[in-house]
Amino acid sequence: MGTETGGPGRLADSGERPDGMTERAADLRPSQSGTLKGNTLLGSLSADVLAQVETQCRWRHLSTNDVVFDQDDSSRDVFFIVSGRLRILVFRGPAEDDPAQEKEAKVKAGDRALKSPSASDKSLDLDSELDTGLERHSTQDSEAEAQSIKAGLVAFEALVDEGAPMTLTELGAGDTFGELSAIDGRMRSARAVALEQTEVAILDGESFVRLVQGHGDLALALLRRVAGYLRASNRRMYSLSTLTAKQRVYAQIARLAEVNPHRRSEWIIDPLPSHVDIAFWAGTKRETVAAAIGWLAREGIVARQHRALLVRDPDRLKALAHV
């Protein structure tokens, strides 16, 4: 195991975080360090320059649910994913004038965020949810949404249910994250969590900035990447500010669905993600997801088929989701 420790957001060997979460990370020996040849952001660099960057990186192995850095951390490192998957998510807590409630909400939200999609509570099995207990959810959902937008390159603070985490994106091999704080020197705007066994290469922020300054093609690629962030955040802000929590669930189901190859008039989601996972993307709570899917089932819009969800009436689902 590695021994690197330090300020907020640095990868630690082990230990309890202030919010009750645990970080773990292991050094990879040079022979295991892999290569950055598949990284999309660094694709314009020559083989010699890329090799120099590789020697400057620290290589790490992450276990499932490891927190790479947390929202509002002050670290400036840039991360290149060699293999595996990570989730980038944000939180919204209670009012700032109630620090006790804010801390409690963040701990609870963090506990939920570190659950693997495959480790969802058995009580959330869709078969039982469609048959029992859904009526009470449909009348008790909180549809409250936040009104403020956080400035910065990512340009928003998620308008989500209080304390609920919201997934911004999921990243895989060849992707880069953490570059915004290296560029503007500001606090981390989101949390990064490993979804599975993951290998990353870590370049300190100052070295990354010097690399960008010395290579115009890389700078242009970075600008295109930031432009992509802004476009995506604009679409996300529109959804968050104009749709209710249930409508966001409907929209996420529509995004996940594909044409059913056995019946072209229907859609299918196979396998259906856990309610926790859908809630992360919709910026709401799993109870709201259960209520929304239950209502769709009672209306005949969706139906369960083993581990899949059939969308019987795609047109009506699209109308409900405003997509």
Sheet holding 165-172, edge to edge: 67-69, 191-194, 85-91, 165-172
Determine the average pLDDT of the residues in 15-43. Answer: 58
Looking at residue 99, its pLDDT comes to 41
71-114: per-residue pLDDT in tens? 999 999 999 999 999 999 988 644 333 344 444 444 444 444 44
277 occurs within a structural domain: yes
106 occurs within a structural domain: no
Looking at residue 69, its pLDDT comes to 95
- Could you say which of 221, 241, 261 is where a domain stops? 241
Looking at residue 238, its pLDDT comes to 81
193 occurs within a structural domain: yes
Tally Cβ neighbours within 10 Å of residue 89.
Answer: 24
- Could you say which of 220, 241, 262 is where a domain stops? 241
Residues 248 and 229 in one domain: no
Q: Does the pLDDT at position 303 exceed 80? A: yes
Domain boundaries, position 168: 25-92+162-241
Total domains, the chain:
2
102 occurs within a structural domain: no
81 occurs within a structural domain: yes
User: 63-72, 119-128, 255-264: which has the minimum mean pLDDT?
Assistant: 119-128
CA–centroid distance for 234 within its chain: 17
Looking at residue 162, its pLDDT comes to 52
CATH number at residue 49: 2.60.120.10
Residues 62 and 133 in one domain: no
Looking at residue 19, its pLDDT comes to 37
Alpha-carbon gap, residue 60 to 26, rounded angstroms: 6
Per-residue DSSP letters for 185-221? -PPPSSEEEESSSEEEEEE-HHHHHHHHHT-HHHHHH
220-265: per-residue pLDDT in tens? 999 999 999 889 888 888 887 889 999 999 999 999 999 999 999 9
Residues 194 and 315 in one domain: no
80 occurs within a structural domain: yes
9 occurs within a structural domain: no
Residues 178 and 317 in one domain: no
Residues 134 and 277 in one domain: yes
Looking at residue 154, its pLDDT comes to 36
Residues 167 and 229 in one domain: yes
Alpha-carbon gap, residue 110 to 19, rounded angstroms: 8
Residues 68 and 170 in one domain: yes
Residues 55 and 186 in one domain: yes
Alpha-carbon gap, residue 98 to 272, rounded angstroms: 37
Answer whether the bond into residue 273 is a cis peptide, omega within 30°.
no
Residues 132 and 257 in one domain: yes
Higher pLDDT, 187 or 153: 187
Residues 86 and 171 in one domain: yes
Q: Helix H segments across 9-133?
A: 47-56, 99-113, 126-131
Residues 223 and 289 in one domain: no
Q: Does the pLDDT at position 18 exceed 60? A: no
Residues 217 and 248 in one domain: no
11 occurs within a structural domain: no
- Could you say which of 195, 220, 241 is where a domain stops? 241
Determine the average pLDDT of the residues in 44-61. Answer: 96
CATH number at residue 137: 1.10.10.10
Report the mean per-residue pLDDT for the chain.
76
Q: Does the pLDDT at position 129 exceed 90? A: no
